[in-house]
Amino acid sequence: MDVTVKIKRYDPESNNSGYVWQEYPIAIDENATVLDALIQIREDDDGTLSLRCSCRSAICGSCAMKINGQGGLACKTKASESMDKDGVILVEPAGNMDTVKDLVADFDMFWNKIREIEPYLQPEGVVPEGEYVVSNESMLHLSAVTACILCGACVSDCTVLEVDKTFLGPAALAKAYRFTADPRDGDEDGVSRDRLKVLGQPSGMWDCTRCNICVQVCPKGVAPMDRIMAMHDQAIEAGYGNNNGARHADAFIESVGHTGRLDELRLPVKTVGITNIPALLGFAPVGWRAMTHGKLPPLIHKSVEDVQIVRNLYRKLEQ
Amino acid sequence: MKYAFYPGCVSQGGAPELYPSAKLICDRLGIELDEIHAWTCCGAGVMQEKNQLFSDTLNARNLAKAEQQGLTIMTICSTCQGVIAQANRRLLADPDYLAEINGYLAEEGLEYKGTAEIKHLLWILIEDYGLDNLLPHVTRSLGGLRLAPFYGCYIVRPTEALGIEEHPERQTSLETLIEILGATAVDFEGKTKCCGFPILTINEKNSMAMVGNHTSEAKDLGADAMVTPCPLCHLNLDGFQPKAAKQANRSIDLPILHLPQLIGLAMGISPAELGLKKHIINTAPLELKLASSTSS
Amino acid sequence: MLEHDVLIVGAGLAGMRAAIAARDAGANAAIISKVHPVRSHSNAAQGGINAALTDRGDNWEDHAYDTIKGSDFLGDQDAVEVMCRAAGQSLIDMEHMGVTFNRDDEGKLGTRAFGGQRVARTFFVGDFTGQALLHVMFEQLVKSGVQSYEEWFVTSLIMEDGKISGVTALEIRTGQLHAIRAKTVILCTGGCGRLFEPSTNALIVTGDGMALAYNVGARLMDMEMVQYHPTTISGSGVLLSEAARGEGAYLRDKNGNRFMEKYAPNMMELASRDVVSRAEQTEINAGNGIDGCVHLDCTHLGEKFIMEKLPQIRELGIDLTGKDMIREPVPIRPGMHYIMGGIKTDVDGQTNIPGIYAAGECANVSVHGGNRLGANSLLDTIVFGERSGSHAADASRGVSFSNFNEDEVVSREKKRLQEILDRPDNGDRWSRIRREMGDSMNRNVAVFRTKEGIEETIEELQGLKQRYGSVPVHNKGKVFNTDLIFALELGFMIDCAEAIAISALERKESRGAQFRLDYPNRDDDNWLKHIVVTQGELGPELSELPVTITKWTPEERKY
């Protein structure tokens, strides 16, 4: 099978300061992965190509990179499924991080964020002599999160990290959930209060924009965004709901629960807090523009016709 | 062609130009809309986060009602599309879960049997209506117009809930439509990224940065306007574009169009009728360019 | 000046465990690794970790006997005793560190059956136990604050007056060469699988520590004992865990028969790995295979079961063979996987070179003897990693740093590397030589061996060694120059290959993983001993060491 692997190359020691696209037309096996192609290029054609790879079986996490613009593991991506109609596969280093050389990204930011969340079990109670007695369900649940191989595909494509490098990011937050969901971490009830408090601060769990990209690109099914959402619940339950994110969700569900529709006018007010004068004043320019363009949501919010049924369900299932 | 219409909250709330323009073009195209009786908010992903059972129950009611109507659901919002499709997937994946929820629905005599189909207007036009059938309605050429497609996260991810495997062409549906209407689609990196709306009241700076990045990128690539099938994206990209421009310390001035407005313009309907006057970002330059392009 | 009491080379399970132990014992410890710790090959171990827990009515002596029998009685029984005694506590320690082990209905640690064990004593996390353990160990490393030189490649050991003084290392990101002073060095560099082609091993497993130690006079022992794992994927050589068989999978020939009945009527698919690999190869050679493979059949296990217990290998099967084990059998065949042989150490990790320790796969205590039982390797790394770390920390207390001139050492090493970089471009690339070596080893020093075959490989290795001297490095840069590193690793691999081949030729019997068609029987009278290779003036020199026998008299091994 003939393919052309088009690689975004960067050599910090060369005279030109930017990157250069280089094309490698090669012949590979039908079942080859993109990594097989890259290794072949490195071994037979061009020993100057630098990339990280090791296990070839999606367990070491070394070969995370952008293939056709999307983060993923080169060893888990089939070449035949990645070619465009001209047989070209685009390969670049992982996003949101600086490039060291060619396909080698600077993972310092990644590791720093992992370290920041104190990624080790912190049991507060007495350590038993034998093993902790915990349910298999709880361990199986954690298995899905511990399947994370710290490859960085999610961090590469995270849309929040793209605009804000202080965001903890999907990998670190998913790792944090691995502890907040571990019955052995935290107090005797397994509630990791200190973690949840810290993670709820700015640039933490509430800054996720829910775009689903990390879920889409994760090669191990970790679903970081879903873990972040689960941590929201844990944080609120542990009493750390004093923030816009938590209030937003509360106000939303209350509005729909009472009327069947979303009261868009009152939602932002309740999100920032009805007594939060500075924030409310901040809405003024936008509110004014909306009003003058006839876009302000109606002051009187109408309920749906069968709202009584909705309220009954709300009472039963939410309160 | 008849559909169980699910307009979603924002199309009559913060983006009130969407509902009438959608109804208008469907009417002209001969697509009958039978609005789902007393439909409830889909939850926008926010309710799902807080209480999945409650929000799935509310969506199950929407689905059951559409099932009773015997019609496919049409959505006009990427978020509604994605959220309801995800809810449907959960209900179909776990019979016990569906049974539990049907238990709550039974009290009002409803039951969701699992047969509902949910499709965005964008897909309906390409897959059901057919582009060949759409073409005769395109009376005003959009030739010369460069339009940037902005999908909205919920209509492109997660792929399993959106039938992308069976319909891979859905991933380029906006470009397809833009081209068939006679305009040129601008390819830019931000087209499937996040507009920042979900974190608007949580981290405004990041939200504005996202708006600023995507609209600037499209503008700098020569886009005359951006088109989006999601009114929540529209709210951010249009309503907050002035703020985003201020934060980015540059001018952007990129008009944002709802999908039905784009189609309406190509069908020769006037900008005023389509509610363009309600937009925050002035659409006059776009309208000028439109008027000066030759009609077919 | 970089200096540490204990410097650990390699950040896999053994290395990180040693580093933490050294630090806990109060030493100034540091760990150096050519890849980030979580990229280490320990993460590819899938099946589980063995331990005999007394509160379940199990006892360490049974585990020891199973291990010794599995080793075909070449294992040193005192070392096996140490490992099996320590297993229970090591396991609990890992659980306390946070490993998400599988549980039984009462919430206590769950077990699965595994090869060569008469009782189920393999504790596991799905089918990715190695990754689970490695990541938890990394978490503990972060917690401990041990200094970590990540992506630094050790190019040589610095010796003064016959004892270790430090290492020279290439900082891969910048190309800068450093000398690190150390009182003790623990080599935890893993196996040397890449000198076989194919192999289950990752690309980084190139025998670095074994060769480095060998080149300063350390003893390599039992190098001929190379394990071929029964269930590897054709082509890539990637591993499908023994856990599948542990959970009840069958091996079938082209006619659907469970052929293991002929070879191990009692343990069937769970006989020791060498027995199963030989059985498979025999069937394949006799024409009962399917495209050079046999079938691993999990179809009777059920979807829910497979998704809970074997999710990773199911994905591997789909990704790399296109077959979903829930619905159809997966083709597999024996593939090179592990080396029981390695740097000879005592039970505290000490080698014959003062100050140099070794632990993990690169070491040979010997606990695995002629064949390693599945799930004993993870145990080996943790027990002996811990012991080495503690011992080295204590040993470093009475020692002072050596006084070598750092600039001199660095510039000498720089010159050596520059000479390699300056070679003319016309030699064979490193990849070509590695492939030839790999093919030769896989042909003649694999499951079935003969005198002629091994001699052919020894000769071919001589030729490759010559050509190695002119391997060009096409990347002349400093930053992330992997081409240079691969050339250096190739040198390490050739040294290991040579040791393996001559040891295989020397042992004129079949035992454990070594099967000689010309000497098909075990010969305790003449060969119940370890074969040792050391570097001599004119090339490798052979010698021997006795096998330590404590409680268990060697007997015929039947499964």
CB B195 within 8 A of CB B225: no
Residues C407-433 have pLDDT tens digits of: 999 999 999 999 999 999 888 999 999
Chain B contact probe: residue of A293, A305, A307, A308 with most B CBs at under 10 A: A293
Nearest CA distance, C244 vs chain A (angstrom): 17
CA nearest C136 in A: which residue?
A: A120
Tell me what the mean pLDDT of segment C90-112 comes to: 96
Residue A285: asked if its preceding bond is cis (omega within 30°), the reply is no
Query: Quick one: average pLDDT of C459-484?
Result: 96
Q: Looking at domain B139-295, which CATH architecture does it have?
A: 3-Layer(aba) Sandwich (3.40)
pLDDT, tens digit, 9 for 90 and up, residues B85-100: 999 999 999 999 999 9
pLDDT confidence band for C390 (50 / 70 / 90): very high
Report the CATH fold assignment for B2-120. Glutathione S-transferase Yfyf (Class Pi); Chain A, domain 2 (1.20.1050)
Q: Locate the chain A residue with the closest alpha carbon to B282.
A: A293
The C-alpha atoms of residue C125 and residue C146 are separated, in whole angstroms, by: 27
Give C65's pLDDT tier (boundaries 50, 70, 90).
Answer: very high
Model pLDDT for residues C339-376, shown as the tens digit of each residue: 999 999 999 999 999 999 999 999 999 999 999 999 99
Task: Please state, in angstroms and rounded to a whole number, the distance separating the CA atoms of residues A185 and A175.
Answer: 13
Residues A200-214 have a mean pLDDT of 96
Q: Which residues of C are catalytic?
A: 229, 245
Does C200 have pLDDT greater than 70? yes
pLDDT at A17 over 80: no
Q: What are the domain boundaries of chain A?
A: 2-105, 108-237, 245-317
Residue type at position A189: D
Size of interface A-B (CB pairs under 8 A): 165
Any chains having at least 3 CB pairs less than 8 A from chain C are: A
Q: What angle do CA B22, B273, B228 make, to 5 degrees?
A: 45
Considering the entire predicted model, what is its pTM? 0.94
Binary contact (A147, C128; C-beta < 8 A): yes
Q: Which residues neighbour A288 within 8 Å (Cβ) at sequence distance 6 or greater?
A: none
Return the pLDDT at B296. 44
Inspect the interface and report whether the beta carbons of C480 and A102 lie closer than 8 Å.
yes
Which of B85, B210, B73, B240 is CA-nearest to residue B150? Answer: B210
Best mutation target among C97, C103, C204, C234 (most A Cβ atoms within 10 Å) is C103
pLDDT per residue as tens digits for the range C30-56: 999 999 999 999 999 998 999 999 988
Q: Which residue matches tokens 């990224």? A: B193
Q: Taking a C-beta distance cutoff of 8 angstroms, is the pair C123, C111 a contact?
A: yes
CA distance B133 to C159: 83
Contact: chain A with chain C (3+ CB pairs below 8 Å): yes
Q: Which of A263, A58, B12 shows the shortest CA–CA distance to C315?
A: A58
Nearest-CB residue to A306 (from B38, B45, B55)? B38
Give residue C412's identity as a one-letter amino acid code. Answer: R
CA distance A132 to chain B (A): 31
pLDDT for position C545: 98
Residue B295 has pLDDT above 60, yes or no: no
| Cross-chain Cβ contact C203/A11 below 8 Å | no
The residue to which tokens 């990204």 are assigned: A105
Q: Residue C334: left if φ>0, alpha if ψ -120 to 50, beta else—which one?
A: beta
Two structure tokens written together for C66: 């199973």
Please give the pLDDT value at position A281. Answer: 86
Which run of H or E residues covers position B174? helix B173-180
Predicted confidence (pLDDT) at residue A269 exceeds the cutoff of 90: no
Q: Which member of B46, B53, B194 has the closest CB to residue A249?
A: B46
Instruction: Output the pLDDT for position B294.
Output: 54
Q: Which residues of C244-260 are buried (b: 16+ CB within 10 A; e: fewer)?
A: bbbbbbbbbbeeeeebb
Stretch A232-242: mean pLDDT, rounded? 93
Q: Give A262→chain B minimum CA distance, Å.
A: 6
To the nearest whole angstrom, how far is the Cα of A65 from the nearest Cα of chain C? 15
Q: Could you tell me if A297 lies within 8 Å of chain B, comparing CB atoms?
A: yes
Whether C320 shows a pLDDT value over 90: the answer reads: no
Question: What fold is seen in the domain A2-105?
Answer: Ubiquitin-like (UB roll) (3.10.20)
- Tell me, yes or no, if A86 comes closer than 8 A to chain B by beta carbon: no
The H helix count followed by the E strand count for chain A is 14, 7
From CA A23, how far away is CA A38, in angstroms rounded? Answer: 12
Chain A, nearest residue to C137 by Cα: A120
Residues of chain B above pLDDT 70, percent = 99
CA–CA distances in Å: residue C365 to residues B124, C78, C210, C437: 69, 10, 14, 27
User: Residue A268: what pLDDT?
Assistant: 86
Interchain CB contacts (distance < 8 Å): A and C: 153
Ranges for all domains in chain B classified under CATH 1.20.1050.140: 2-120
Q: Name chain A contacts of C204, Cβ cutoff 8 Å.
A: 54
Give the model's confidence band at C75: pLDDT under 50 very low, under 70 low, under 90 confident, else very high. very high
Per-residue model confidence as pLDDT tens digits over B185-208: 999 999 999 999 999 999 999 999
Greatest distance between any 2 Cα atoms in chain B: 60
**Topology of A108-237 in CATH?**
Fumarate Reductase Iron-sulfur Protein; Chain B, domain 2 (1.10.1060)
pLDDT at C394 over 70: yes
Three-state DSSP state, A101 = strand
Mean pLDDT score across all residues of chain C: 96
Domains of chain C: 233-333 (3.90.700.10), 424-530 (1.20.58.100)
Q: pLDDT digits over B56-82, tens only?
A: 999 999 999 999 999 999 999 999 999
CATH 3.40.50.11810 in chain B, residue ranges: 139-295
- Of chain C, the percentage scoring pLDDT greater than 90 comes to 91
Name the pLDDT band for A285 (thresholds 50, 70, 90): confident
Question: Which pLDDT band, with edges at 50, 70 and 90, does C64 fall under?
Answer: very high
Burial A122-134 (b: 16+ CB within 10 A, else e): ebeeeeeeebbeb
Helical (H) or strand (E) element with A162: helix A159-163
Q: Which of C480, C481, C490 to mutate: most A Cβ within 10 Å?
A: C480
Q: How far is C9 from chain A (nearest CA, A)?
A: 18
CB A21 within 8 A of CB A6: yes
